[in-house]
Amino acid sequence: MIEIELNNIKKNYGLKNILDGFNLEVKTGEKVALIGQNGSGKSTVLKIISKQENIDSGTINIRKEAKIGILNQIYENEKEEILVKDFLYKSFEEILKIEKRLNELENEMSLEKDTTKLEKLVNQYGKNQEKYILKGGYEIQEKFNKMCSKFYINEKMLKQKYNLLSGGEKTRINLAKLLLSEPDILLLDEPTNHLDIQSLEFLEDFILKYKGTVLIVSHDRYFLDKVITKTVLLENGKENIYYGNYSYFLKEDERRTLAQFENYKNQQKQIEKMKESIQSLRKFGELAGNEMFFKRAKSIEKRLEKMDILDKVDLNKKSIELKFDIKNRSGNDVLKIENLKKKFQEKEIFKNVNLTLNYGEKVALLGKNGSGKTTILKIILNQDNDFEGKVKLGSSIKIGYIPQNIIFENSNQTILDYFLENNSYSETEARNKLARYGFRQENVFKKIGKLSGGEKVRLMLIRLMQKDINFLILDEPTNHIDIDTREILEDALEEYKGTLLFVSHDRFFINKLANRVLNIENGVIKSYYGNYNDFERCMLD
C-alpha cells in the first residue's frame, strides 16, 4: 500500500526553485533515506509531507487516516510551561483518556445499586478495557522507562521545564516522545545528532523492528546502511532512486555516472561525425553543383537540432580538496597521561587514567554521553587544570583544535578578513586559496555568523592548515555537515601525517580513519587497536 505519494512537486524560495518537479513514492513498512547536499531541499520535503510547508504546484497524497510524526532539526519553546515528564506523556494522550474513563467507570460501578445500570457500566468498562489493552495501556510505564533510559533522560531532567532545555536536549526529548507515540509515518530529520553510539544502536534496532513507514534525512552513513532499504538522492530539485542502502547507493551511483559518461562520449563522437558529414556533403554539393547533397546536409542538421544533448558528466564530483602540509613533525611521544583523577563536585569522572599517544596515530575517543570525552580534551588542551595526576605533551608539539560548538570571536567578520588574520597573504592570494577550499567569488564576503555548520568546520580547518599543525584534536567534527563535506574531511585526515585524536559518534568516519579506539569505561580509558568494527568485535567477545 502506498503511504506517501508526491507528484511533480515544485517549491520556490524567492528566486530559487528548491524542488523542481520532485517525485516520491513510499510504501507501507518501507525505510527510505533522503540524501543530498545541504540546501538541496531534504528538510523541505519532510515539512511538505507533514503539512508544515505548502507547495507551489504538484500533488500530495497521504494514505487516509495515516498518523504522521515528525522530528524537526530545530525545536522552539512550547507555548505552555510544561515539565519534561508531562511533555513526554503527551505521547500517550489517547491511552490516558481511556485510562481516565476506566477510572471513572470503576468509581461509578462501585456506587451503582441498580443491576440494569450496573450491567451497562460493566459492558462499557469491558469495551474500554479492550481498547486500553489493544493500544498497549498496561505497557506504557515500561516503554516510558526504557525510552528515558536509552536517551539518558534521568529523574532530574524529567522534573525540568521543557523550555529551559538546550537545543540538543530538546532534540533528544522530542525523539523519545515521537518514538513513544508510534505514528504510522515516521519522518526523521537528522535523528542521530546529539546521540551517543549506545543511543544510536537503540534507535537502529527500534527502526528495524518498526512496523510503520520511515523517511529519514541523515548524514550518518553507518546508520543509513543499517536501517534503510531505499535511497533517494535529491539533486537540482529532482529525485534519483536507488533500491538499496547507502553503500549500495555509492556503488550504483558510480556505475550510473560511468555509464552516463560513456553515453556522453558516444553521443559526442556521433555529433562530431554528423558535423563532419554535413561539411563533406556541402563540399560535394559545391563541387558537383548538385542540390541533392545540400538537402542531405540540411536533413542531418535538422536531426542534430532535434537531438537531446546529454550534459557533460563530472567524474570528479569533489570540487574541494583539503590538504595538510606538515613541515615540522613532533617527537614520537606525543602525549603521556599518568594516574589522572578528575571529579566534578562529588562525582568521580576519571579514576586512574594512564595513556600514551605516539606520533602518526589516528585515535578515536568513545564513551557514553557524560562520560568525560570533552573533559579529557580540555585537560590535554590545558583548558582544565583541576585534576590530579600528570599530563605531559612531547617535544615540538603544535596543537590544532576544533571544538564541538564552534564560536568565532567576531561573528560580523567576513570569511576573507578571518582568513587574512595573522598571516602575510595578499588579498588576491587569500582569495585564490579560499577558492580552492570552496569559498569562491562573493562568498568570501559572507559574514562568519551566517555560515552553516559545515562551512564553519571547513573555515577552521583551512586556518589550521596554514599553521603547520602536527597534533590535531577534533570534538565531533562531523556534526551538522553533509556527506560530501564529511568525505572531503575524511580524505584530508587520511592523508594527514601528524597525530589525530578525535571524539565522534560517526561510526563510518571512525572506521575510515581510526587505527586505535579509546573507550571510556567506568572512569577508566581502555585502548583497542583497530577501527570501530574491530572495537565492536572486541566488545562482543
Per-residue pLDDT of the chain (541 residues; tens, 9 = 90+): 899 999 999 999 877 789 999 999 999 999 999 998 878 899 999 999 999 999 999 999 999 989 999 998 777 777 778 999 999 999 998 899 999 999 999 898 888 888 888 889 899 999 999 999 998 889 999 999 999 999 989 999 999 999 988 888 888 999 999 999 999 999 999 999 888 898 999 999 999 999 999 999 999 999 999 999 999 999 989 999 999 999 999 999 989 888 888 898 898 899 899 888 888 888 888 887 788 888 888 888 888 888 888 887 766 665 566 677 777 788 889 999 999 999 888 788 898 899 999 999 999 999 988 888 999 999 999 999 889 999 999 888 999 998 888 888 888 889 888 888 877 788 888 888 888 777 888 888 988 888 877 788 888 888 888 788 899 999 988 877 788 888 888 988 998 999 999 999 999 999 999 999 999 998 899 999 999 999 999 887 7
Residue 63, domain member (yes or no)? no
| Same domain? 527 vs 423 | yes
Residue 370 lies in a domain: yes
> Per the structure block, which three cell numbers stand in for 116?
440494569
Residue with cell 468498562: 125
Q: Are residues 360 and 437 in the same domain?
A: yes
132 within domain boundaries: no
Range of the domain at 297: 249-306
How would you classify residue 422: left for phi > 0, otherwise alpha for psi between -120 and 50, otherwise beta?
left
> In whole angstroms, what is the distance from residue 22 CA to residue 5 CA?
11
Statement to judge: residues 301 and 338 lie in one domain? no
Neighbour order of strands in the sheet with 31-35: 68-71, 185-189, 213-217, 31-35, 230-235, 238-242
Residue 162 lies in a domain: no
Residue 140 sits at the vertex; the CA angle it makes with 138 and 144, to the nearest 5 degrees, is 150
Q: How far apart are CA 105 and CA 199, in angstroms?
A: 40
Identify the CA nearest to 94 among candidates 70, 128, 124: 128
Number of helices (H) and strands (E) in the chain: give both, helices first: 18, 18
pTM: 0.82
Domain assignment present for residue 204? The answer is no
3-state secondary structure 323-338: CCCCCCCCCCEEEEEE
| Domain count along the chain | 2
299 and 364 in a common domain? no
Closest CA to 405 of 453, 439, 447: 453
Query: Can you say how many angstroms the Cα of residue 326 is from the centroid of all Cα atoms in its chain?
Result: 31
**Amino acid making up residue 194:** H
Within a 10 A sphere around the Cβ of 167, how many other Cβ atoms?
11
Same domain for 479 and 532, yes or no, is yes
140 within some domain: no
| 105 within some domain | no
Q: Do 287 and 351 reside in the same domain of the chain?
A: no
505's grid cell: 559518534
Same domain, 293 and 350: no
Sheet containing strand 333-344, strands side by side? 347-358, 333-344, 388-393
CB 501 within 8 A of CB 373: no
Distance CA 482, CA 393 (A): 34
Same domain for 427 and 282 = no
- Phi, psi for 322 (deg, rounded to 5): -90, 140
Both 449 and 359 in one domain: the answer is yes
396 and 286 within one domain:
no
Are residues 302 and 342 located together in one domain of the fold? no
Residues 264, 382, single domain; the answer is no
Q: Say if 232 falls within a structural domain.
A: no
